[in-house]
A and B are shown apart, each in its own frame.
Chain A
Amino acid sequence: MKNLISMRDISKEDILKLIDSANKIETGKVKVDMSGKLAALLFFEPSTRTHFSFETAVKKLGGNTFSMSGTSSTSVKKGETLADTLMTISMYVDIIIIRHIIEGAARFASETVNIPVINAGDGTNQHPTQAMLDLYSIQKTQGSLNNLTVGMVGDLRLGRTVHSLAQALSDFNPTFYFASPRHLQMPAYIKDDLKAKNIKFTELEDIKDVMHTLDIMYVTRIQKERFAVLEDYEKVKDSYIITKKLLEGVKKNFKVLHPLPRVNEITKDVDDTEYAYYFQQARNGVFMRQAIITELLNLEKH
């Protein structure tokens, strides 16, 4: 692996290898040394959470970072092309981590520079490190990625995390339940990919009836601004709120995942149950990002 741009480029073997590596880093079985190396965190589109997670990952490996957030104070504002900005920065650092509102920016970056590039989110397209940390969280809580029943709840149309996760899991024979308001359903191109791989999936408007069958429930936020008519939002918003009561009678191994930030879609009382896993999930993100950086930079392991 030279870059991490899209889950489309990643094989099942790559996934399993990165999970194994993240696990070894987390448990201290391997120590990785990134000292003397520098990562550029280029967040043309600001994102505090992902930014901090990457920064933590680099620093825990012993490396250093420099950061950019937003485009207001940069050469971008002066009219420099993205290619020139990237090329110049690549002369200073060992790896580029890029988030950009423009779709395809990360792939373009990887073709422009001669150092490894990690996509930290490109518009509505890909966010592969999120998908990888989701897979790592699922592996850790379930002991395997194979043959799981996974419910996805919320805005499935525009949520790129659920798209990447559905695609990534499709190599592991899952059963999916997609619960969303009608106009925020999983897009046709994702469903086409799943059909082509003979993956079982059912679309519902309410997750309630299948709760007892789920191993994982992946919740995303339904944003008010996605609704043209506010009345429609008011009508559906409560059907997609996960409460402690909803979790009665779920399987023992059941876990709730969420990419965060959450607003009100998981109530506070869920946090204290054994099923809440979203904060550990965020923690897992650091280990997974450490594993990805280690792999791309071919860092020495001890």
Chain B
Amino acid sequence: MKKKQLKVDPIKTGTVIDHITAGKALQVAEILNISNSESEIMVGINLYSKKMGKKDIIKIEDRELSEEEAGSIALISPTATLIIIENYKVVRKFFIDVPEKIKHHIICPNPNCITNIESVPTLFFLAGKNPVEVRCSYCEKKYFIDDVKFSF
């Protein structure tokens, strides 16, 4: 029998973000601000996936994600799933919903938008799901999620 080989080591307790759209792991890592984190973190990019062909994966030891963090991940990669691990066992596994409202994190691409002129946090509303589209609550322009930049 062929032994199942994990390319990324299992974690004892923490969170696995699986099925991240291939190539998006570093962006997800940025949201989670993991460069300033003390936790053990593993990032896999372009791993083989039966479901997706290629996928990225991030495993974080000893950390639970906030709802806001999870929502932001869904924006970048709507296919992502969250897996909560305790004592090497999966205790919960779920898809993340794209949030209806996104505060702060999206930079409005419209240079003539007030959010790029006065100091005011941005607010975007979900305007389409497949692909994800968001609308600026200030200038009301609509953008594909791939066309916006984030700040975390």
Looking at chain B's contact residues, the main secondary structure is: loop
Stretch at the interface among B10-18, B27-35, B108-116: B108-116
Question: How far is the CB of B133 from the nearest CB of chain A, in Å?
Answer: 9
Contact A107 B137 (CB under 8 A): yes
Q: Bound complex: CA of A189 vs CA of B142, how far in Å?
A: 8
Given A81-B118, A104-B113, A108-B120, A123-B142 contact (CB < 8 Å): no
Residue of A nearest to B122 (CB): A104
Question: How far is the CB of B64 from the nearest CB of chain A, in Å?
Answer: 33
A126 CB–B CB distance under 8 Å = yes
Most central of B110, B112, B115, B119 by chain A CB within 10 Å: B112
Contact B115 A104 (CB under 8 A): yes
Question: How far is the CB of B39 from the nearest CB of chain A, in Å?
Answer: 37
A268 CB–B CB distance under 8 Å = no
Q: Bound complex: CA of A55 vs CA of B142, how far in Å?
A: 34
A213 CB–B CB distance under 8 Å = no
Given A83-B118, A108-B118, A103-B142 contact (CB < 8 Å): no
Total interface residues on A, CB under 8 Å, equals: 19
Residue of B nearest to A105 (CB): B114
- Inter-chain contacts of B114 with A (CB < 8 A): 82, 102-105, 107-108
B129 CB–A CB distance under 8 Å = no
- Inter-chain contacts of B117 with A (CB < 8 A): 82, 102
Q: Bound complex: CA of A107 vs CA of B123, how far in Å?
A: 12
Contact of B112 among A82, A103, A107 (CB under 8 A): A103
Residues of A within 8 A of B (CB): 6, 8, 81-83, 101-105, 107-108, 111, 122-126, 189
Q: Bound complex: CA of A102 vs CA of B115, how far in Å?
A: 10
Question: How far is the CB of B143 from the nearest CB of chain A, in Å?
Answer: 10
Q: Bound complex: CA of A101 vs CA of B111, how far in Å?
A: 12
Besides A103-B113, A108-B138, 16 more A-B contacts (Cβ < 8 Å) are A8-B140, A81-B119, A82-B118, A101-B112, A103-B110, A103-B114, A103-B138, A103-B139, A103-B141, A104-B138, A104-B140, A108-B118, A124-B112, A125-B139, A125-B140, A189-B142
- Inter-chain contacts of B137 with A (CB < 8 A): 104, 107
Residue of A nearest to B138 (CB): A104
Q: Bound complex: CA of A237 vs CA of B113, how far in Å?
A: 32
Q: Bound complex: CA of A125 vs CA of B108, how far in Å?
A: 14
Most central of B117, B118, B141 by chain A CB within 10 Å: B118
Residue of A nearest to B114 (CB): A104
Q: Bound complex: CA of A111 vs CA of B117, how far in Å?
A: 15
Most central of A8, A83, A103, A107 by chain B CB within 10 Å: A103
B70 CB–A CB distance under 8 Å = no
- Inter-chain contacts of A8 with B (CB < 8 A): 140
Contact A123 B140 (CB under 8 A): no
| 5 tightest Cβ-Cβ pairs between the two chains A and B | A104-B138, A103-B139, A104-B114, A104-B139, A108-B114
- Inter-chain contacts of B58 with A (CB < 8 A): none
B136 CB–A CB distance under 8 Å = yes
- Inter-chain contacts of A111 with B (CB < 8 A): 120
Q: Bound complex: CA of A107 vs CA of B138, how far in Å?
A: 6
* Per-residue contact bits, chain B 93-124, to A (CB 8 Å; 1 contact, 0 not): 00000000000000000101111011110000
Most central of A104, A122, A124, A126 by chain B CB within 10 Å: A104
Q: Bound complex: CA of A6 vs CA of B114, how far in Å?
A: 15
Q: Can you give 15 A-B contacts (C-beta < 8 A)?
A: A8-B140, A81-B118, A82-B117, A82-B118, A102-B117, A103-B139, A104-B114, A104-B115, A104-B136, A104-B140, A105-B114, A107-B114, A108-B118, A123-B139, A189-B142
Most central of B112, B114, B136 by chain A CB within 10 Å: B114
